[in-house]
Amino acid sequence: MRLYDFNASANCYKVRLLAAQLGLELELVPVDLFAGESQTPEHLARNPAGRTPVLELDSGDHLAESGAILLYLAEGTALLPDDKLGRARAAQWLFFEQNLLEPNIGTGRFWILTGRAEGRDELVRRWQKVGRHSLDVLERRLAGHEFLLDTSYSVADVGLYAYTHLAGDAGIELGDYPGVEAWLRRVEAQPGFMNDLEPYPEHAGSGGRSAHG
């Protein structure tokens, strides 16, 4: 399988992390978002939204959106429950991540690290407020649970780890969430864990398109 990938994207990182933990080999094809490579006709044919990650199957079919890719790769493994409710709960947390956590922590982080936040304090504060709310949700869930799906490490933890562990880059103090911090350490202790997320490139401050602006 082939992954159209941007190595500074946490959405792409979560796919690489799951693949590593499942022992899957992916051919990584770099897509430079800030050089406009995600908006070429070739990439738009793979994903009309012009985003990464995109998984290319051996059949030649393409699958976009990180949560969908995670669910596809985890199918039939111990990281995705085999019962209907368990699978729905895994999807629930992946939807939560893309709806509430990633758009605020991820966007705040992106704007701060690429210099776009200068002079836009009110906008950044809004992202931080909702980002903290998303961490409040996780803190409540993890108060009595080792992992997001009770006691079993799953694809849900992979999906939520990617942006949660970067909250500090968005100006949110993770020390205010001891349950979340303890969960992050448990995720990092799982077999096959790795973190190959790269910093944003120098030219990220101008040009190109990202999911965050």
Domain ranges of the chain: 2-77, 84-188
Assigned fold of 2-77: Glutaredoxin (3.40.30)
Point out which residues pair with 150 in neighbouring strands. Answer: 147
187: left (phi over 0), alpha (psi -120 to 50) or beta: alpha
Q: Give the integer Cα–Cα distance in Å for 32 and 57.
A: 21
Beta pairing class for 27-30 and 2-5: parallel
pLDDT-derived band of residue 104, with 50, 70 and 90 as boundaries?
A: very high
Q: Give the mean pLDDT of 176-186.
A: 99
Fill in the amino acid letter for 149: L
Tell whether the model's pLDDT for residue 48 goes beyond 90.
Answer: yes
The helix (run of H) or strand (run of E) holding residue 129 is helix 121-142
Residue 16 pLDDT > 90, yes or no?
yes
Q: In this structure, which CATH number among 3.90.1200.10, 3.50.50.100, 1.20.1050.10, 3.40.50.740 belongs to the domain 84-188?
A: 1.20.1050.10
pLDDT at 206: 56
With 0.75 as the threshold, say if the pTM is over it.
yes
The dihedral through the CA atoms of 106, 108, 110, 113 has a sign that is: negative
Average pLDDT over residues 150-155: 94
Q: State mean pLDDT over 100-116.
A: 93
